[in-house]
């Protein structure tokens, strides 16, 4: 049975014909010389990122069709003409059958991140395709691949506009406003993948004292401010705290219900006993490689333990993991261990994931990276 997984690992390759350079298009054959797939070659553990399992030429028309189908899919989700939301992920790499390519749309500005040299080589073509497909809904295309192109490739990608030009923009998500600065921000500027989980949060914050740990742009705080009595945002980056304050002000003006703290999460969580009714834990990916998986799981356990043991009785915790190497099962086990260490009664109210504009390719389980739980602590 063909499994259609979009990666071919170097260990599975018997012989390489010719001398492909990183980013070249290569065809893959089985032992009996039957064609399997075509894709981008790269030295390293993932040797080929597959573009197609049919014998096609991945030329500009090929990419046009794939990006158009990614756009049509977002249209069908109601994301492209939504008066409440003008920020969404337009291309989600393997999830959209375009391994190595991320495109986020921020109210007219498309921010691209290429994770492979093969995709990077096509960046100007991608900008042209976006112009054609989005028409007057596109102001600018910014390439932010400097930090994502494999370091060993020797390519020095410079972040730059490939079309138009724009300073930071204000986007709207579920009716809330956010400033997005792709140049100085993390990743492409905003964590779009939490949109639906933030909406769910809004259903639990009424009259609550809320603690938003790892707040970054303060997006969870902005949703909570709608009806909470108090919202505290914590982040170890002062730039992030500045952004969170700016976004709260953008939506609520000067509002004394909000306070932000530039602090380390583990320090801050030492003394929060009985202070909060609702805590959000959305840490950065602890585990970037398999070998530190155990440390990551330990990190989730410690973090969740601190929150579970100190939250007010009847409290709610929104807890997340965005590490690709941490499976949903492993994450749950860490939270279980955290709960068991406190001895408190804990219920799981919701199991969260990523929204449909971050689709999971069924043949590529690794594309399911965002896991979350809503807990009720008695």
What is the Cα–Cα distance from 301 to 77, expressed in whole angstroms?
35
User: Can you give 207-232 as a three-state secondary structure string?
Assistant: CCEEEEECCCCCHHHHHHHCCCCEEE
According to DSSP, the β-strands at 176-180 and 278-281 are unpaired
- Chain mean position to CA 228: 26
Among 86, 217, 310, 323, binds ligand SAH (CB under 6 A): 217
115 close to 149: Cβ distance less than 8 angstroms: yes
300: closest CA among 276, 278, 284, 316?
Answer: 284
Minimum distance, C-beta of residue 337 to ligand SAH, in the bound complex (Å): 20
Q: In the stretch 226-265, what mask flags binding to ligand SAH with x, by CB under 6 A?
A: --------xxxx--x-----------------------xx
Both tokens of 233, joined, read 């945002």
Candidate list 98, 110, 219, 326; residue touching ligand SAH; CB under 6 A: 219
Of 22, 94, 282, 357, which lies in the binding site for ligand SAH, with binding defined by CB under 6 A?
282
| 284 touches ligand SAH (CB under 6 A) | yes
Q: Which residue number, 153 or 236, has a Cβ lying nearer to ligand SAH?
A: 236
- Which secondary structure element, helix H or strand E, spans residue 111, and what is its range? strand 109-114
Task: For the CB of residue 190, give the shortest distance to ligand SAH in the complex, in Å.
Answer: 7
Q: Is 94 in the site for ligand SAH (CB under 6 A)?
A: no
| Pick 206 or 264: Cβ nearer ligand SAH | 264
Q: Judge contact between 360 and 331, C-beta under 8 A.
A: no
Please give the residues from 163 up to 202 whose contact with ligand SAH meets the rule CB under 6 A: 191, 194
Closest distance to ligand SAH from the beta carbon of 31 (Å): 45
Q: Which of these ranges, 83-91, 161-169, 215-223, 305-313, lies near ligand SAH under the rule CB under 6 A?
A: 215-223
Q: Which one, 173 or 368, has the nearer CB to ligand SAH?
A: 173
Q: Which residues are catalytic?
A: 322
Distance CA 43, CA 8 (A): 11
Q: How far apart are CA 248 and CA 258, in angstroms?
A: 8
Cβ(198)–Cβ(174) under 8 Å? yes
Q: Are 110 and 104 in contact (CB under 8 A)?
A: yes
Comparing CB distances to ligand SAH, the nearer of 87 and 140 is 87
Beta-carbon contacts of 333 under 8 Å, excluding residues fewer than 6 positions away, are 297
Candidates 182, 216, 300, 331: give the one binding ligand SAH (CB under 6 A): 216
153 binds ligand SAH (CB under 6 A): no
Query: Residues interacting with ligand SAH, by CB under 6 A?
Result: 191, 194, 214-217, 219-220, 234-237, 240, 264-265, 282, 284
């Amino acid at each position: 049975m063909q499994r259609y997984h979009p990666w071919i690992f170097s260990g599975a390759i018997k012989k390489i014909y010719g001398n492909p350079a990183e980013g070249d298009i290569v065809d893959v054959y089985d032992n009996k010389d039957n064609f399997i797939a075509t894709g981008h070659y790269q030295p390293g553990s993932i040797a080929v990122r597959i573009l197609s399992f049919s014998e096609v030429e991945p030329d500009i028309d090929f990419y046009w069709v794939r990006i158009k189908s990614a756009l049509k899919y977002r249209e069908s989700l109601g994301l492209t003409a939504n008066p409440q939301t003008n920020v969404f992920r337009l291309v989600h790499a393997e999830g959209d059958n375009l391994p190595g390519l991320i495109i986020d749309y921020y109210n007219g500005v498309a921010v691209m991140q290429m994770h492979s040299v093969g995709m990077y080589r096509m960046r100007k073509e991608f900008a042209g395709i976006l112009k054609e497909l989005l028409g007057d809904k596109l102001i600018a295309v910014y390439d932010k691949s400097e930090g994502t192109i494999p370091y060993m490739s020797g390519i020095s990608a410079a972040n730059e506009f490939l079309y138009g030009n724009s300073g930071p923009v204000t986007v709207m998500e579920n009716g809330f406003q956010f400033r997005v600065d792709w140049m100085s921000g993390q990743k492409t500027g905003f964590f779009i993948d939490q949109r639906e989980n933030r909406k769910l949060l809004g259903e639990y914050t009424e009259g609550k004292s809320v603690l938003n740990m790892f707040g970054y742009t303060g997006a969870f705080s902005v949703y909570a401010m709608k009806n909470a009595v108090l919202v505290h945002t914590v982040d170890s980056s002062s730039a992030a705290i500045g952004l969170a304050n700016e976004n709260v002000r953008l939506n609520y003006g000067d509002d004394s219900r909000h306070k932000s703290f530039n602090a380390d999460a583990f320090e801050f969580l030492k003394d929060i006993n009985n202070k909060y009714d609702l805590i959000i834990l959305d840490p950065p990916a602890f585990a970037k490689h398999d070998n530190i998986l155990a440390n990551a799981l330990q990190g989730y356990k410690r973090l969740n333990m601190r929150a579970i043991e100190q939250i007010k009785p009847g409290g709610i915790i929104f807890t997340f993991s965005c590490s690709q190497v941490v499976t949903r099962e492993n994450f749950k086990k860490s939270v279980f261990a955290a709960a068991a260490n406190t001895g408190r009664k804990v219920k799981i109210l919701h199991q969260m994931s990523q929204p449909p504009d971050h689709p999971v390719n069924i043949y590529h389980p690794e594309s399911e990276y965002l896991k979350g739980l809503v807990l009720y602590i008695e």
